[in-house]
Structure 1
Amino acid sequence: MLSLDALRPVTSAALLADFAAEHGVDAATSLLGTGMTAARLADADAEITAGQELQLVRNIVRALGDRPGLGFEVGPRYRAAIHGIWGYALISSPTVGQAIQTVARYFELSYSYSRASLEISGDEARIGFDDSDIPADVRGFLLERDVSGSIANWREVFQRPLSLRRIEIGGGLLSRLRPLLADMGVDAEVIAAPGETHFFVVEAAILAEPMPAASPETARLLEQQCAALLHRRVQRTRLAGEVRDLLVRRGQASLGQTEVAAALHMSVRTLRRRLVEEGTSFRDISAETFGILAEELLSTGLPVEQVAYRLGYAGAPSFTTAFKQWRGITPGRFAREHPGR
């Protein structure tokens, strides 16, 4: 799974917020606990973390209900060009096979939370999407989004229908996806995959076919830019990841910037500046980290008082106040609505 600290353009988050608004979900609900503002969503040059967008997805799914088909409504809006140079590198690839290899190699530059792969087995090519690390409460929605978006993009980029031998759906999601794919007009066998990964299976021969907008020189240049962009994003998110790891290891919500900066051998001022450069803040990382830890503990059935104690709060009242700021509901209500999540 893509690191939750990895940076990405705000484009997808803005698209999702607009989609939610069309369904009656206001911006305050969509942005709850994300650390984002409406102004940041409107800034086309802004970057956010994958974790911030994932929280926005969770808010939308919670507000609209995790009904089958919701992701299919939003997926076709993710056209290739929305992904920037990664999308253009795909379009300009010389052959279908090279396009798919570029997709898989730089999949972290997409807006997906899965890992992509390409396997050749006899006369079949298997395009895999491993989303096994995605939280269960948003996995169905995100799989729908990625599958429907991939099918729509295939038609647009390759200028032909997606000629599938079959689709294999893993992770117990077959019953959810099969009727949706039929409604979408996908003429292929849809079966259960033995593991967690999902596959589009096509004839291997199509990998040698030329792309409609092939431009080998452009493709090479764009692939170099993809590599540079991916490296730059990884470099810029290192500190946020270190802060998150430290907070998880210590497990104390009372841990402040001073202690964290000292543990990382830097001044508080440097810590703040570098986190701002990575598009986040200590407050946002702390709220997200302990919010997720609190959710996991509450879902196991632990009483609110024990969760508060384990996370280092002075008592249930202070923990309840912090959790309401994070989730918008009390921890007791969250535990009742999400037992054994």
Structure 2
Amino acid sequence: MIPDNLPAPAAADWDFPRSALGVALLVRHAVRAGLAPEAALAGTGLAVDHLEAPGAVVTAAQELRVVRTLQRHRPGSGAEVGASYDASTFGVLGLALLSSRTVRDAVEVALRYVDLSHAFAIPRAGLVDGRLVVDLDGSGLPADVRAFLLARDATAVDTVLASLVPGGVGARLSLGADRARLEVDAAELDRPLARPTGRAAAQVDRLAEQLCLQAVARRRERTGVAQEVRVLITQRLAAGAPMPEVASALGLSERTLRRRLGAAGTTYRELLEEVRALLAAELLGAGLPVAEVARRLGYAETAALTHAHRRWAGGPPSSARREHPAFTQRSPRPHLQAPSRTT
């Protein structure tokens, strides 16, 4: 029996950090339109190799910049881009979708973790008169790319939903200037997805849910300018993530950035420490050598990482492998001792 309610989407609007996989897909379409990858990324501060890094994240503003470039060179291609989506486009969220038991479970996961997607037109879903109705409101999107984004996101929802079960779900998509709607017979929500069975299925479910919880916890724990700064730091970490460069990427002076971070209850140094601590846990847990992790985190010497790791986690970098969430059920966030604030 299908319950008559579905969860509200986790994000109220589109201004959240997102996986670089969405930008990588946009770049591939731009290349087909005759652009070099570097030209597609112009003005974003992103390098092509960043898009291919595991777990790479971009800001919404960076993805919008690439969308605008693609729109100029291939007008009206939003639906074409959306039709090229599949579950793997969403990374960890895709894993959660594919490991769902039924179509309804997949819809619920997508709504609960919509901020792990690439959506700008946020979908909202409900059951009305025996139908699943998914509404996407594009009225709040930038006018110059509204049609592109609405067509892309609505088509992506339609395409991915259809891919979950053989023969699709028979969705009916209507696309307007500012809004889009998909309608599906509610009976389709009971259809099971092809998935592993027994113990393997339970393990896939736990892993998918755990990964989603970890990822959204990290992205949601900072908001506004502090979260944008964290994303930009991550992209520039190997070069030390100098504050003047990050401030410039935001169109701010260093003084203004310090003031805004102070109003948000943090400092640039604190955010740099947080990003380094989180990435160190992931990279060390994945088995990378300590020297390589130190280089990726922007440390001139391995000893600097060793000292920092003792401060974050109370032990040497070698302890991260034993405590990494891939091997334990502990929270992935290292305990941080906040550094003294600077002005």
Alignment TM class, shorter chain as reference = 0.5 to 0.7
Percent of paired sites with the same residue: 31
Task: Give the 3-state SS of the residue equivalent to 1:144 in structure 2.
Answer: helix
Q: How does 1:314-325 map to 2 (within 5 A)?
A: none
- Given the alignment, which residue of 187, 190, 200 partners 2:182? 200
Q: Distance in 2 between matches of 1:49 and 1:254?
A: 14
Aligned partners of 1:127 and 1:199 also within 8 Å: yes
- Deviation at residue 272 of structure 1 after TM alignment: 7.4
- Deviation at residue 199 of structure 1 after TM alignment: 1.7
Q: Does 1:169 align with 2:175?
A: yes
1:196-250 CA-partner distances (Å, limit 9, x unpaired): 5422111112222222226663335423431331121122555435879xxxxxx
The change in CA–CA distance for 1:264 and 1:155 in structure 2 (over 3 A counts) is closer
- Given the alignment, which residue of 37, 42, 61 partners 1:51? 61
Give the match for residue 18 of structure 2: 8
Q: Distance in 2 between matches of 1:151 and 1:31?
A: 27
Give the match for residue 258 of structure 1: 255
Give the match for residue 272 of structure 2: 273
Q: Distance in 1 between matches of 2:109 and 2:167?
A: 19
Aligned partners of 2:124 and 2:134 also within 8 Å: yes
Aligned partners of 2:226 and 2:261 also within 8 Å: no
In structure 2, stretches of 5+ residues that fail to align are: 1-11, 231-249, 279-343
Q: Normalization by structure 2: what TM-score?
A: 0.61
Give the match for residue 337 of structure 2: none
Aligned partners of 2:14 and 2:60 also within 8 Å: yes
Q: Distance in 2 between matches of 1:58 and 1:241?
A: 23
Aligned partners of 2:85 and 2:156 also within 8 Å: yes
1:75-117 CA-partner distances (Å, limit 9, x unpaired): 2322102212211211221222121111112111111112222
Q: Distance in 2 between matches of 1:278 and 1:126?
A: 42
Aligned partners of 1:151 and 1:162 also within 8 Å: no
1:34-53 CA-partner distances (Å, limit 9, x unpaired): 12123323434432212211
Give the match for residue 324 of structure 1: none
Aligned partners of 1:95 and 1:214 also within 8 Å: no
The change in CA–CA distance for 1:256 and 1:118 in structure 2 (over 3 A counts) is same
Q: Normalization by structure 1: what TM-score?
A: 0.61
User: How many pairs does the alignment contain?
Assistant: 242
- Deviation at residue 20 of structure 1 after TM alignment: 0.5
Give the match for residue 144 of structure 1: 151
In structure 1, stretches of 5+ residues that fail to align are: 174-195, 245-252, 280-341
Q: Distance in 2 between matches of 1:24 and 1:128?
A: 34
Whose helix proportion is higher, 1 or 2? 1
The change in CA–CA distance for 1:93 and 1:213 in structure 2 (over 3 A counts) is same
